[in-house]
Structure 1
Amino acid sequence: MELIFIRHGQGEHTTNLPESLQLGHPSLTVQGRLQAENLKSTLPLTREDILIVSPTLRTLQTASIWSENIECNKVVHPLAAPRIFPTRLAAKTLPCDELLDLERVQDEFPSFVPVPNLASSLWSTGINVLPDNEFNLLIEDFIDFCRSFQRKKIYIVTHDGTITSYRQNISGQQLTREDFLQETERFHLVVE
């Protein structure tokens, strides 16, 4: 199975660093919307595709623009949420990385279905500051969830630190922040 991780389009939280990291639930910028629109031609979706999305505004906006008028399977999953990379002891989630509550997801993005039967703590706090040993235990759960669709490829719209965390764990390579993807770039990971 191929997991295709796509970083969200440019968000407002990246436009005036470090102050903009204090924005709660940042939206896509105009540039970010254009980047998401460009995904339609560079990585076209079909109704057969599976799209898993982080429960943040910028990722849901990216996925919504990209999948506009495509009735593929669209799922919101907290194991695709923002993650600090590398992890740091005593780190705190920044306002820009707080998750949307389920009610807002369902109100604003009704075609995206939240994954049922997960611990409520994952929906409220996500994976951002989980210690590596706890996060590593959840990776197999996420891969099993992806396998449950029985498709050859799964698209995951997420964040730079999350992508790098999954890449490092699955590949066994030591990665750094230098390995972060740019907006709407993608990384393919094959898992057995």
Structure 2
Amino acid sequence: MELVFIRHGQGEHTIDLPNSLNTTDPELTNKGRNQAISLRKQFPLSTTDLILISPMSRTLQTVQIWSEGINCRKIVSPFLSPRMFPQNQKWTTLPCDELLTKEKIKYKFNEFDIDEEDLSREWWTKGINKLPEQEFEKIADMFLNWCKSTGKKRIYLVSHDGTITSYRQFITGKKLSRNDFPREVGWLKINW
């Protein structure tokens, strides 16, 4: 199975660092919206595609714009929510990385399905942002095996720089750093 990890377009929380990190539920900037449009040429979608998305406005807007007019399956999952990289248990979750509730997602983005699997229920309130590495690896293995169980040959996963890098490190077994973060709407393909 081919996994295509895509980082969301530029969000409002990145335009006035470090102050903008305190923005709650940041959306895409105009540049971010244009970046999302550019995904249409890079990754043309069809109705058979599956996209898994982090429960944040900036990721949901990226997919909404990218998939406009294509009735493919889009599932919001807490297993793609923001994740600190590298991990530091002394750090706190920033306001820009607080998860949207399922209710808010249903209200703002009603064209998306919500991951309601038993495995994901507790993670809607916890998120994966501060999970110690060993716990994250268990969750990552479980989530990736669920992806494989869909029977899809390719799955798109739209998430965040730290989350993508965490999954990449888990899958490849290579030690990565912040220098390995994908840029805005940057992507990488990994076979699982």
How many residues of Structure 1 are paired with residues of Structure 2 in the alignment? 191
Aligned CA RMSD, in angstroms, stands at: 0.9
Q: Measure the CA separation in 2 of the matches of 1:150 and 1:118.
A: 18
**Does 1:51 pair with 2:66?**
no
Tell me what 2:62 maps to.
Answer: 62
Q: Measure the CA separation in 2 of the matches of 1:151 and 1:60.
A: 21
Aligned-pair CA distance for 1:145? 1.7
**Does 1:29 pair with 2:20?**
no
Tell me what 2:11 maps to.
Answer: 11
Q: Is the 8 A contact 1:37 1:65 kept in 2?
A: yes
Tell me what 1:137 maps to.
Answer: 138
Q: Is the 8 A contact 2:5 2:159 kept in 1?
A: yes
Task: Specify the SS of the correspondent of 2:10.
Answer: coil
Aligned-pair CA distance for 1:147? 1.2
Task: Specify the SS of the correspondent of 1:26.
Answer: coil
Aligned-pair CA distance for 1:125? 2.4
**Cα distance, 1:135–1:38 mapped onto 2, change above 3 Å:** same
Task: Specify the SS of the correspondent of 2:122.
Answer: helix
Q: Which amino acid is the alignment partner of residue 95 of structure 1?
A: P
Tell me what 2:102 maps to.
Answer: 102
Q: Measure the CA separation in 1 of the matches of 2:149 and 2:56.
A: 23
Tell me what 1:127 maps to.
Answer: 128
Task: Specify the SS of the correspondent of 1:105.
Answer: helix
User: Percent sequence identity over matched residues?
Assistant: 48
CA deviations over 1:38-59 (Å, ceiling 9, x no partner)? 1111111111100000000100
Task: Specify the SS of the correspondent of 1:87.
Answer: coil
Aligned-pair CA distance for 1:90? 2.2
Q: Measure the CA separation in 2 of the matches of 1:125 and 1:14.
A: 24
CA deviations over 1:118-142 (Å, ceiling 9, x no partner)? 4543101210011111111101111
Aligned-pair CA distance for 1:144? 1.6
Gaps of 5+ in 2: none
CA deviations over 1:10-48 (Å, ceiling 9, x no partner)? 000000000000000000000000000111111111111
Aligned-pair CA distance for 1:148? 2.1
Task: Specify the SS of the correspondent of 1:9.
Answer: coil
Q: Measure the CA separation in 2 of the matches of 1:114 and 1:86.
A: 28
Q: Is the 8 A contact 1:53 1:77 kept in 2?
A: yes
Gaps of 5+ in 1: none
Q: Is the 8 A contact 2:79 2:120 kept in 1?
A: no
